[in-house]
Amino acid sequence: MTPYGGLAFFCVLTVVLIPAAVLGLLGKSTRGYGILATAALLLAVFDSWTARVTLLAFWALETGLCCGYVRLQRRCGQLWLLLVFLSLSIAPLLAVKLGGLFPRLRLFSLLGISYMSFRAVQVLLDCYDGHLKSVNLLDFSYFLLFAPSVSAGPLDRYRRFTEDLHSVPGREAYAVLLRDGVWKLATGAFYNFCLGNLIWNLWIARLPESGFLPTLSYLYGYTLFMFFNFAGYSRMAVGTAYLLGVRLPDNFNRPFLAADLKDFWARWHISLSTWLRDYVYTRFCMTALRGKWFRGKRTASYLGYFLTMTLMGIWHGLSLHFLIYGCYHGVLMGVNEALDTRWKRFKKLKKRPVPRVIMGIITCHLFGVGLLIFSGRFF
């Protein structure tokens, strides 16, 4: 059963969410029931014993690593220990990605492993940085396997997530969550099933596979499809989480109104872009500056963007078009940074109405070319 993929899933989801809504409207905590609801949804989604055993093994590995690292880190907080645990944590993700590229090396597959792996990595890094002093086994398991966002995000943060778990919103506050959650579920379903499907079936699917004009049309159609499809899934995940008392962060914020690519990535797949900014880009730049790796003041930033966006491409898969997609955005983000820091007029232009509109159109087309690469149409 595919999450948010059809009537069967929504029937199960409705049955699972009704008790949560009743508890919330009575002013009770939904934490205990939410854990049971997550287990029920996971059993429905991972509907074969092979998938369930794989998920259980993944949970055991990541939980053991995070809980074990917390204990060992108190005695030995050196970087090498973190690198060992990070390597073990992302090993299942690398195995799945390699299996997708080389079928003969495929050991297993696991729905949502990219999102779950990044959650586990985040906890390890927060422990190393001293932001987390302890990890509760039940809370970590709930966070790692949180069913509403297990397959398509958004990526939440452990500390923010656990704050919601251990706070009871009360009747009035939960009523607002319920209202907003139902609205997000409804609009997300409309985005995905109506607009996304119409764009795919009536536009993209009817285009020839080659030719300049069909490819140009594909660029516009695929960009719109990806927005409504992905934003729809994200909204449904956020809406479901709201009903369970968890305020998952929104993943999209009117990206097509962005003036440049840095602004665009602050509005598109927000949870992933901010995760990469905080745990890859900032960490790389700070380490490079402290170690005085480069002579130029902005070199670390340029390389940091390239590294971050290339990793983003690899996160989607190890195929050539994903790698080129990441590198493409890495170069563009570096150019964007250079314009921001070296051309003073660039920031002024973004504040003026007409130039901002022109720059926004250019930005959307640059992003659309990236999605064209991402789609694999060129390769």
Please indicate whether residue 316 is annotated as part of the active site: yes
**Contact present, 145 and 154 (Cβ < 8 Å):** no
Which member of 166, 269, 316, 321 is catalytic? 316
**Contact present, 173 and 70 (Cβ < 8 Å):** no
Q: Which two tokens stand for residue 210?
A: 């080659």
SS3 of residue 145 by DSSP: coil
C-alpha span between 295 and 278 (Å, rounded)? 24
Q: Which two tokens stand for residue 152?
A: 């398509």
**Phi/psi class of residue 112: alpha, beta or left (left: φ > 0; alpha: ψ in -120 to 50)?**
left
Please, which residues have CB within 8 angstroms of residue 95's CB and are 6 or more apart in sequence? 105, 107, 108
**Contact present, 120 and 66 (Cβ < 8 Å):** yes
**Contact present, 247 and 34 (Cβ < 8 Å):** no
Q: Which two tokens stand for residue 311?
A: 């990793």
Q: Which two tokens stand for residue 159?
A: 């500390």
- Residue whose C-alpha is closest to residue 154's, from 78, 81, 90, 248: 248
**Contact present, 248 and 241 (Cβ < 8 Å):** yes
Which position has the token pair 């299942």? 92
Please, which residues have CB within 8 angstroms of residue 84's CB and are 6 or more apart in sequence? none
Residues marked as catalytic: 316
